[in-house]
Structure 1
């Protein structure tokens, strides 16, 4: 850690860095029970058509967005799908359907073995935050599920803004929330393209978590430090 000054704020990516996750949104094991649930609610849902409309809508959103790295909004997407089936009720049900979709698509959700020891070590020593490409209606219950909610003072979620990492504006949102300049923060993430290049563009010192065996994205960005596990940061 001698290559980096000790920061005021430690910012983390979430999925792939702190949380070990795998989802499969294309499986019929997702869409068949989801469509059945909607039929229980009186909506004429067919699993194959629902699946097709979901991915078609996602493509339309990406094409229509003015952003270079567009993010979808679960409320908008599932609201559009449900209204096409004749739903005209409260937004809360739309969120519940989106969350059911997430639960059905989940194949693995848990902590890496080095996550909790590091967060417990840093907690109280530094202010900590998250910058995550995610849906807020997924992220918040999943943080609670794995027992991490209490560690973070501010959480920046891409679905709130309509753009994703590596857009440096997400990193700027975190700096503004903590009221610190870039050189008083450090960002830790596992994705060289999205995490490291985004932090570098925002002029935040970047630590690349290159876990053994993990897929490496191509990027010209250079991290200030490369580590193979979070335990290497427990000297802070």
Structure 2
């Protein structure tokens, strides 16, 4: 690992615990919009929203339009109102991933230059980063909504490397999604570490992670 001088991280379900974040948001959403439901039905509605969200890999406009149509409203709520509520409230539910802050401090003390690459709208992702107090750790942050390129396009990783000031050979990438993170970063020439979360590995992928971890603190021994 002597040649590795920089680390690039994914955000959602890598440094931010998106599972906790979206569940917390969904519970508030049901409480605020569907407070007429009895407790058990409210709980089932939260689970339904989480399932429909597909770990965030849904087009948001389509997702909000679907919620507008299928949820047990007392009075109809349009997709635009759901979008507005999401934009205002979602980031506030952000929770840092277990071991994330300790790991980032560890890497910084050892001289690694660190960056972040994430898909999403700039205002939403910036809100998460600031709520979790993660910005101070990164020399470069690339957000797809601002860059006009989204993972898994290798170009978004090349942009991050350019802003970071290191080559792909000098940089290690850590993320949770087999395609958006590991395949995309691998195609950009980086060595990758896969943090196993909610997505099964696709054996059809022509890129493999160098290492597989289940918790972020495992990265310390690898480095």
Q: Which category of TM-score, normalised to the shorter sequence, fits these structures? A: 0.5 to 0.7
8 Å contact kept, 1:99–1:138: no
- Go from structure 1 to structure 2 and tell me whether the alpha carbon gap of 1:181 and 1:101 turns closer, same or farther (over 3 Å shift): same
8 Å contact kept, 1:23–1:106: no
8 Å contact kept, 1:190–1:210: yes
1:19-98 pair list within 5 angstroms: 19-21=16-18, 22-23=21-22, 29=29, 55=61
Cα distance in 1 between the residues matched to 2:28 and 2:218: 41
Shift of 1:108: 4.6
* Pair 1:215-2:214 in alignment: no
Cα distance in 2 between the residues matched to 1:57 and 1:108: 19
Question: 1:115 — aligned with what?
Answer: 100
Q: Deviations over 1:18-70 (max 9, x none)?
A: 0012438999948x87xxxxxxxxxxxxxxxxxxxx836999xxxxxxxxxxx
8 Å contact kept, 1:118–1:234: yes
Cα distance in 2 between the residues matched to 1:207 and 1:137: 28
Cα distance in 2 between the residues matched to 1:99 and 1:137: 13
8 Å contact kept, 2:91–2:131: no
* Pair 1:180-2:186 in alignment: no
1:151-166 pair list within 5 angstroms: 151-166=137-152
1:128 pairs with one of 77, 90, 114: 114
Shift of 1:196: 0.3
TM, length-normalised to structure 2: 0.67
The gaps in structure 1 that reach 5 residues or longer are 34-53, 60-80, 83-96
User: Which stretch of structure 1 is more off in the superposition, 158-167 or 189-198?
Assistant: 158-167
RMSD: 3.2
- Go from structure 1 to structure 2 and tell me whether the alpha carbon gap of 1:154 and 1:99 turns closer, same or farther (over 3 Å shift): farther
8 Å contact kept, 1:20–1:108: no
Shift of 1:167: 0.3
* Pair 1:192-2:191 in alignment: no
8 Å contact kept, 2:174–2:192: yes
| SS at 1:156 equivalent | strand
Give the total of aligned pairs: 175
Question: 2:55 — aligned with what?
Answer: none
Shift of 1:5: 4.3
TM, length-normalised to structure 1: 0.64
Shift of 1:208: 0.6
Report which of the two has the higher share of helix: 2
Cα distance in 2 between the residues matched to 1:143 and 1:196: 21
The gaps in structure 2 that reach 5 residues or longer are 34-59, 66-79
